[in-house]
Every structure is written in C-alpha cells, then in structure tokens.
A = this chain, B = another copy of it.
C-alpha cells in the first residue's frame, strides 16, 4: 500500500531520491539511503507493478501456453512440474507467470487465434510455449512476428527456434546402455508405428553402437485417443513379445502406459520381471510407482526444463535481437524394481 511518495514524505526527501535509493542507482548520500531503507522496511514497501508496467510500457508477466488433454486432463503431471520450474525462475526475477490452456480437441484455427489475440493483447514480457507440434510452432511464429520474445519447450531440437528440449534420443540411448551394463543382450523397443521417431532413433543408435541385435515391436492399431486403450495394447503386445522366436530379455516401452500394460501382461503369463525380462517405461508418470514390480522409467526433467526455459526467456527479454538457440536437457533413469 505504501508508495514512494509516502516514504518521501516521512524521509523529507523527494520521491525521486527515494526511488534511486531503493533501486540502488545514481547518486544518493549514505544518510539518505539509510533513512529510506529503514522507512521502506518499516512500512513494508513494495514497488507497484501496475505503475512500473505502465511506465515501461511493458508487463512483467510471462504467458505460458500449454494444452489440455484428451478425455480427462492429461499431460497434467508432466505439465505441472514444468509450471513449477518456470514459476520458480520467473519469480526470482520478479516476473509473474500467467497460464493459458489450449484445448487440444478443438479445431485449431479459430480457438487458437482468439486465445493468441487475448494473450498478445496483454502485451506480456514474453511467452513460453509447451509443445512442439506444428500447432505450437505456428504460435511461436505469430509471437515472433508481434515482437514478443518466445521460447518453446519441445521434445526435439528445432534449429530455427529458441527452445529447451527434453532429449528423448539421449534418454532412450542411456536406457539401452544401462540395460546392457546389467548384462542384457536382447534389448527390444516396443512402440507404435510411426509416432515415436526420437525414441526409436535413440534406441537404434545405442543398439548399433553396442553391436546388439535390433528388436522392434510395433503396434499398428493405435490411433491416439483414450489413454486406457494403451494399457490394453501393452497387455496384448506382451504376448507377442514373450512368444517371439527369440524372446528379448529387456523391453523399453514407448510410454509408461504401455509399459504398465506389458508388465500386467507378463505377470499374467507368468513371465518373471525382471528375471526373465526387464521393462523400462518412459516419462515417469505417477502410475510408474504403482505397477508391481515398480517400473523403472526414463524420467522427464520437467522442473529443470521449466527453469531453463524461463532462464532463456529472461535472456531474450533483455536482448530481443539475439538468438538464444536450443538447449537440450538430459533425461535420466528413475530406477525401480522392473529392471
């Protein structure tokens, strides 16, 4: 509630001197500074953000654009961790975080455009976009055209955009090395046809480097949609995998959901985990702690990614004309009893 004016009156100084004292810039005598700081602390002075925004013609707010998932609100857990990371870093620099949710089901164009207008209308200091499909890239471009600094949190390096990307390729590669280190030599990857390039590339890379046989099981029937279905596909795939001519002694699954299905299927069929086959999931979702045995999984460093994205954005806000580039954040294994 207390303003510079209030402090100035009590200190018998001009508003301007008080302002300089508090900001620690320009000339201020030791006497004056001491007095100002004392009174400011006494009255619990806080700079008025609205006034600063007005003066600087710029809000100290960062908009974060994320999406709302399929039937229920999915992606929530991973998203939340990113929010927390972003918030922490921004807060430390006096910026606010404003969340915005895209409905992933809605027709893209009209809804997005309205939201983007709304967001840009607030003239935020910058914007963090979580996601890297074409839809999110186009948001990045819109913001760039409006001269609003933007950073993407993506799942792959995007050469032409400033982004923090979770390095899925490295994550899967590390997982293969980990399994190989545990003496597994028939390491398989279980996924869906066509939608897991980065992960499969990481798998292939490691397999090649280690000189192991490539064993890829992929399900063609997955068309997106309901999450529960993925579990069932996993159960089904477990049969295919266990009954293969050369059965693998380890499986890295495309997602925790799929891995949970695999585990359930293996158990049902009496295939011991991890003795007979080790299973690794992807994402470290909550459910990974609740399979039995507990699921070892390639964890997303969401908090870290959020922090780094905020860091990068703050840099861009200061130097809008410099490219920030792409920063990869390593994934790391969360080891539980399935391996």
Q: Which residues of A contact B (CB under 8 A)?
A: 1, 44, 46, 48-51, 53-54, 59, 61, 68, 72-74, 76-77, 79-81, 83-84, 87, 96-101, 117, 121-123, 227-228, 231, 235, 257, 260-261, 264, 284-287, 289-290, 292, 294
Q: Taking A80-B76, A286-B287 as contacts, is the C-beta distance between A87 and B59 under 8 angstroms? A: no
Flag if B235 contacts A77 (CB, 8 Å). no
Task: Kindly list 15 other residue pairs between chains A and B, CB separation below 8 angstroms, not including A84-B101, A264-B292.
Answer: A1-B123, A46-B121, A48-B54, A72-B81, A73-B84, A74-B286, A76-B286, A83-B99, A87-B101, A96-B98, A228-B290, A231-B289, A231-B290, A235-B292, A257-B290
Q: How many copies does the complex hold?
A: 2
Q: Give the distance to chain B from A50, nearest Cβ to Cβ, in Å.
A: 4
Q: Which B residues are CB-close (under 8 A) to A286?
A: 72, 74, 76-77, 227, 285-287
In the A-B complex, the 3 residue pairs with the smallest Cβ-Cβ separation, listed nearest first, are A50-B53, A46-B121, A76-B80
Q: Which B residues are CB-close (under 8 A) to A87?
A: 99-101
Flag if A122 contacts B290 (CB, 8 Å). no
Give Cα A109 to B73, complex, Å.
33
Interface residue from B73, B260, B290 paired with A80 (Cβ < 8 Å): B73
Flag if A98 contacts B98 (CB, 8 Å). yes
Q: Taking A44-B121, A117-B44, A122-B49 as contacts, is the C-beta distance between A76 and B77 under 8 angstroms? A: yes
Residue of B nearest to A77 (CB): B76
Give Cα A68 to B85, complex, Å.
12
Give Cα A74 to B292, complex, Å.
20
Residue of B nearest to A56 (CB): B50
Q: Give the distance to chain B from A47, nearest Cβ to Cβ, in Å.
A: 9
Give Cα A99 to B64, complex, Å.
12
Q: Which B residues are CB-close (under 8 A) to A44?
A: 117, 121
Q: Which B residues are CB-close (under 8 A) to A80?
A: 73, 76-77, 79-80
Flag if B289 contacts A290 (CB, 8 Å). no
